[in-house]
Amino acid sequence: MGGLASALALAKEGFNRIDVYEYASDLGFVGAGIQLAPNMARILDRLGVWEPIAKEATNIKDTSIRQGATNQELGHVELGYIEKTYGYPHMVGHRFSLANSMYEGCKKEKAITFYFNTKVESIDSFGPKPIITATPRDGSPPYKVEADVLLAADGIKSLIRVEMLKLLGVDAEITNTNQAAYRIMIHRDQIKDDPELLALLDSDTVTRWIGEKRHIIAYPVSNKTIYNLSTAQPDTNFAAAPSATYTTKGSKTAMLGVFDDFSPMIHRMLNYVPEGEVCEWKLRVHAPLPTWIYKTVALVGDACHPTLPHLAQGAAQAIEDGAVIAVVLSRLPDTSPESINKSLRVYEQVRKERAETLVELAAASGRTLHLGDGAAKEERDKQFAALKQGNGKVPDKWADADVQKNIYGFDCTKVTEDSFDEIFSSLSATNGPNTTNGTNGAAHA
């Protein structure tokens, strides 16, 4: 997501040679839904790729937060106001539709070349001109690539982040959240004889069923042909068999067991999932990094701010990264490595605190949603009750208007355009980079 957005945004700014190296042989077809928040839509619209995504996405009108065990509604929030307030509705769609529309947009840009099926094997230099070794997976010999700027949008397991932290002498690791997620898609024909579930599929509602340490969030995608479910539960399977994998085929019996005490309707819903189509994801985050920038290399997306999905902002934040990077690089006064480094540090200044705040908020919202019996849960449920009377904050932070204001009301492109000169000149005045001895100001900050 971050790589596609960066490439497209840079091409739109007139950069004329953008090479994208991707391990996978194509975009893949990740069978999962994704929330398309207004801050993401705004950027994609400017990049000319929002329309096809919006066409098959669902325009969400409201959200219902329910007790998993009883299916009783705890809170209900109208979301129709979002479009009027932020210029774009809150939509939900298919992940492939999002990736594919950005990819189609990239393909129209002569400046962008994709190297699929190619692994970035190592980074040989972080600058002044970064050099990587790329290894085609078809057995062709590895080769070196030199660039003016290297953007590492290589996801939570980022190789470039690991190498960057080593050079900076920073001991920071991926953190276990002890949570895992099932991602499930139920097709219309599977539930055609189940009016209750068909009503959910035909709705414009995001529904969240919550219980102790677990929840399910669900919404219709792909022109309402698919009901998409994403869950969160204690990570027992990955924890029991630690390995490098983050995704695994899950067992349907185990999945039904996790939601054993949820309502019969939910059991019926989960039972529609065909055996063999249960996919489980390990949810991991990373401690905040001291910097995202080293020389002329920048980290992007999950490589530098992986998040729990409870605010539905991971991809949106990766796309914000791409939009901001395009602005800061388009404002370069010259193409010296020092200026590139400083511009990238403007990106870091605009993005880092915001992204890390949202990572923390997603974790906090998960803690609130997953409360077990006790005073804190009683307090939370009082808040839900007040909400039903039309007052107060929404304990599910994703649906809270003040949180939405901070997330959706922030136009990262405009903020960067407006603040670039000031931040750029403040960096040169106070902590200019020293790219010859392998450090930069941000790393010291």
Sign of the dihedral through C-alpha 165, 145, 135, 10: positive
Q: Report residue 394 as tokens.
A: 């929404």
Q: Which of 10, 34, 165, 324 binds ligand FAD (CB under 6 A)?
A: 34
Shortest Å, Cβ 108 to ligand FAD: 20
> Quick one: which of 229, 316, 412, 443 contacts ligand FAD (CB under 6 A)?
316
Chosen residue from 17, 24, 29, 223 binding ligand FAD by CB under 6 A: 24
Q: Which stretch binds ligand FAD (CB under 6 A): 7-15, 47-55, 142-150, 306-314?
A: 306-314
The binding track of 221-260 with respect to ligand FAD, each residue x by CB under 6 A or -, is: ---------x------------------------------
Name 62's Cβ contacts closer than 8 Å, sequence gap at least 6: 76, 77, 78, 79, 80, 204, 205, 206
Q: Which stretch binds ligand FAD (CB under 6 A): 60-68, 297-305, 352-360, 395-403?
A: 297-305
Residue of 21, 88, 209, 292 that binds ligand FAD (CB under 6 A): 21
Shorter beta-carbon distance to ligand FAD: residue 133 or 431? 133
Angle, CA 50 vertex, CA 48 and CA 51 arms, to 5°: 95
Contact residue for ligand FAD among 119, 208, 214, 342 (CB under 6 A): 119
Total number of residues binding ligand FAD (CB under 6 A)? 30
* Alpha-carbon distances, residue 433 vs 327, 346, 428, 437 (angstroms): 20, 12, 8, 10
Residue closer to ligand FAD (CB basis): 3 or 220: 3
Q: Is 358 in the site for ligand FAD (CB under 6 A)?
A: no
Strand residue runs (E) in 261-398:
279-286, 293-294, 297-299
Report angle CA 356, 358, 362 to the nearest 5 degrees.
120
Return all residues near 281 (Cβ < 8 A) that are at least 6 apart: 180, 181, 182, 183, 246, 247
Gap between the Cα atoms of 359 and 370, Å rounded = 17
The minimum distance between CB 32 and ligand FAD, in angstroms, equals 7
Which range, of 67-75, 206-214, 310-318, 347-355, touches ligand FAD by CB under 6 A? Answer: 310-318
Nearest to 178 by CA among 222, 136, 236: 236
Angle between helices 95-107 and 2-12 (to 10 degrees): 30
Q: Which of 314, 337, 395, 441 binds ligand FAD (CB under 6 A)?
A: 314
Retrieve residue 331's tokens. 């404002």
Applying CB under 6 A, among 120, 200, 289, 329 the residue interacting with ligand FAD is 120
Q: Say how far apart CA 179 and CA 216 lie, in whole Å.
A: 13
Question: 152-191 mask for ligand FAD (x: CB under 6 A)?
Answer: -xxx---x---------------------x-x--------
Q: Given the DSSP bridges, would you call strands 150-152 and 297-299 parallel, antiparallel or unpaired?
A: parallel
* DSSP notation for 14-76: T---EEEE-SSSS------EEEE-HHHHHHHHHTT-HHHHHHHSEE--EEEEEETTT--EEEE
> Does 53 sit near ligand FAD (CB under 6 A)?
no
Mask 135-154, x = binds ligand FAD (CB under 6 A)? ------------------xx
1 lies in the site for ligand FAD, by CB under 6 A: yes
Taking the complex as a whole, how short is the minimal distance between the CB of residue 300 and ligand FAD, in angstroms?
Answer: 6
The residues with which 185 forms a beta bridge, in sequence order, are 228
CA distance 299 to 356: 14
Distance in Å, CB of 165 to ligand FAD, minimum: 16
- Is the Cβ of residue 117 or residue 434 nearer to ligand FAD in the bound state? 117
Q: What is d(CA 212, CA 366) in angstroms, rounded to the nearest whole number?
A: 11
Cβ proximity to ligand FAD: between 10 and 315 the closer is 315
- For the CB of residue 410, give the shortest distance to ligand FAD in the complex, in Å: 14
Name the 3-class secondary structure at 341. Answer: helix
Give 159 or 265: the residue with its C-beta nearer to ligand FAD. 159
Residue 310 touching ligand FAD (CB under 6 A): no
Query: Under the rule (CB under 6 A), what is the footprint of ligand FAD?
Result: 1-3, 21-24, 34-35, 119-120, 153-155, 159, 181, 183, 230, 281, 283, 301-303, 309, 312-316, 318
